[in-house]
Amino acid sequence: MFMIYGPNTNLVVHGGSVILFSELSAKYILNAVLALLESGKGSLDVTEEAFETYNARVDETNARRAWGYSSVNSWYKNKEGRVTQNYPFTISEYWQRTNRFDKDDYRFR
């Protein structure tokens, strides 16, 4: 299963659109499926290191945004206070992150 629009994907700051975001996500997914087919394996999972590193960066950056500031309460935060809605980086960075599928960030099974 691949998810195009999920946690921390709401564009709020840096322009762009959900359409571009979705198109870039779809291209990344196609590259992931191609890598999976080329590997001869049946599935892939993101590595724990890649997951934790990315989530930490998202949380640190969201905490510096108006919606993530510790004393701000809004629907952007879950009951633990974590911002689960917003993508805190630029659309340009999203393009860079999705332009190339990095096999090292995944385990092929």
Res. 26: pLDDT tops 80? yes
- Residue ranges per domain, the chain? 13-108
Q: How confident is the model at residue 67 (pLDDT cuts 50, 70, 90)?
A: confident
Exposure letters 73-99 (e unless 16+ CB within 10 A, then b): eeebbeeeebbbbbbbbebeebeeebe
Enumerate residues 6+ apart whose C-beta is below 8 A from 22: 4, 5
Single pTM value for the model = 0.87
What 8-state DSSP symbol labels residue 76?
T
Higher pLDDT, 75 or 84: 84
For 32-56, what is each residue's pLDDT tens digit?
A: 999 999 999 999 999 999 999 999 9
What 8-state DSSP symbol labels residue 32?
H
At residue 14, the pLDDT reads: 64
